[in-house]
Each structure stands twice: as C-alpha cells, then as structure tokens.
Amino acid sequence: MAKIKISQAANRERAPEIYRRLVAEYPDIHCTLDYHSPFQLLLMTILAAQCTDARVNIVCKDLFKKYKKPQDFVDAPLEDIEKAIHSCGFYKNKAKNIVATCGILLERHGGEVPRSMEELVVLPGVGRKTSNVILGECFGVPGVIVDTHCTRLTNRMGFTKSQDAVKIERDLMKVWPKETWTLFSHCMVFHGRAVCTARSPKCSACCIRDLCPFPDTKEGQKIAK
Ligand code: SF4
C-alpha cells in the first residue's frame, strides 16, 4: 500500500468536502445490519466478525425469533446457539462470547446495553469497532468505525498511513469533523463496495477523484481503472 503524505491541516480542510460528496452520492447510507434494538445490534456485531452483514442478517432473523432477551441466551444450551449461528463462522467462540456478554448485561447493566466505550469494550467479543457502531447507531454518540473498507480507503485518500485500527481511528478523529464520524465511516463501506474496491478502484468514475491523491501514485496508476 502506497504511503501518502498529506498534512493534518490539509486533511482537515478537504474532509468536509469529501464527506459532503459521498453523502450526496449515497443518500440511502445506513448501517447494513438489520437490527431493531441496541441488544440485537450488539449481538449482530459480535456475529459480524469475519462474516458478511448479509449473512448475519439472514441468521439473526431466525435467531431473534427464538431468543429475544439476554436471559434467553443465558438459559439456552450452548450447542443450540452454536447450531443457530453456525454459518457465521467461528461459531464456537461467537456462541461463547454471546452467552458471556448476555451474562454481563444481566449482572451489571440490568439486562440493557451500556452506553459508554469503557463498559462496551470489556464485553466478550466486543472491540472498539463494535462499540463505535453501537454508540453511533443506538445512542447518538459519534464514533469512527474502522473496518477493512475504512482502512483501505482512508489510506488511499491520505487520511492515515497506518494499517492499525486504533491508530487509524485516532488519525481520523483528528481530521474528520466529530459530528460526521459515524456516517463518514458508513460512507467508507458504501464507497468501498461500489467504487473504491480493493483490486480495481474505479478512480475515473469516482466523485472525489480530484480530492484523492491515490490515482497519481505508482500503485494507483497500476491498479486504478
Ligand atoms: S479516486 Fe480512486 S482511490 Fe480515491 S477514493 Fe476514488 S476510487 Fe478510491
């Protein structure tokens, strides 16, 4: 991955325009997990690790018909939960994490999903990315969500030079306006799927082509369409 150097001041200046154009390009932008409560989203984000949101949505349709609240997961035989989530991959670990997380929700939070990063990141199977999804989506607390699309696109756009999620999150928090953090992150996913794909980004058709340094790099000239 080409390391693109742009000053923090320049990044702060161009970030709002990049955001404005991407939001205009994807007016239907949203979290691609179909959840109906913070509890559902919490479990879905645990299941979404190394799995597609589309698969998680399918699995959770049946899962949430059978198990509706934390107590239902704690009371269920572990093998039943493993079977229900099998197709999401890493099902043994994910089932264990779901049951342990539900136990903590009951013990410490009255069965509710906590509203702070500190309380969320200690739940089994929940990291900063998951916590930021929940905080931003359910509680209106802006958070930068660093996934594989965000990592690739923000490196190409020159917002960061890191591949480390925590460092990227920190870099983006410095240059993206705070109120845009959650939606800007979703923009990365939508744009990453539609245009700025991993193997052959369609730079010539990209709405932020003039604001992105990647097509002018050696790597960009090799792979961009
Ligand atoms: S110009 Fe190319 S590399 Fe930059 S965001 Fe658009 S598609 Fe991605």
Run means of pLDDT, 10 residues per run, the chain, 225 residues: 80 96 95 96 96 96 97 98 97 98 98 97 95 95 95 97 96 97 95 96 97 93 88
Residue 139 domain-assigned (yes or no): no
φ/ψ (deg, to 5) at 221: -65, -25
Residue 150 domain-assigned (yes or no): yes
Q: Which domain holds residue 154?
A: 8-24+144-220
* One domain for residues 101 and 161: no
User: Per residue, what are the HEC states of 54-81?
Assistant: HHHHHHHHHHHHHCCCHHHHHHCCHHHH
* One domain for residues 73 and 108: yes
51's tokens: 């799995």
Closest protein CA for atom 2 of ligand 1: 203
Whether residue 14 has its Cβ less than 6 Å from ligand 1: no
* One domain for residues 50 and 126: yes
* One domain for residues 128 and 198: no
* One domain for residues 52 and 114: yes
pLDDT for 1: 63
Where does a domain end: 134, 157, 192? 134
Residue 81 domain-assigned (yes or no): yes
Question: What is the reported pTM?
Answer: 0.88
* One domain for residues 150 and 130: no
* One domain for residues 108 and 195: no
**DSSP 8-state code for residue 48:** T
Give me ligand 1 centre to Cα 197, in Å. Answer: 9
Which residue from 22, 208, 216 has its CB within 8 A of the most atoms of ligand 1, so it is best to mutate? 208
* One domain for residues 59 and 127: yes
Where does a domain end: 134, 153, 172? 134
Inter-residue contact 168 to 146 (CB < 8 Å)? yes
The domain that contains 165 carries what CATH number?
Answer: 1.10.1670.10
Residues 6+ apart with CB under 8 A from 192: 148, 149, 150, 152, 153, 198
Atom of ligand 1 nearest to the CA of 224: 2
Question: Could you confirm whether 218 is annotated as catalytic?
Answer: no
158: left (phi over 0), alpha (psi -120 to 50) or beta: left
Taking alpha carbons only, the member of 152, 114, 108, 153 closest to residue 131 is 114
* One domain for residues 119 and 46: yes
Residue 3 domain-assigned (yes or no): no
**DSSP 8-state code for residue 198:** S
The domain that contains 61 carries what CATH number?
Answer: 1.10.340.30
Residue 225 domain-assigned (yes or no): no
Where does a domain end: 89, 114, 134? 134
Catalytic: which of 53, 96, 147, 161?
Answer: 147
Question: Could you confirm whether 161 is annotated as catalytic?
Answer: no
Give me ligand 1 centre to Cα 146, in Å. Answer: 18
The residue behind tokens 């993206």 is 176
Rounded to whole angstroms, how far apart are CA atoms 64 and 51? 18
pLDDT for 2: 60
Residue 33 domain-assigned (yes or no): no
* One domain for residues 128 and 46: yes
pLDDT for 224: 84
Residue 177 domain-assigned (yes or no): yes
* One domain for residues 109 and 182: no
Structural domain count, the chain = 2
Whether residue 212 has its Cβ less than 6 Å from ligand 1: yes
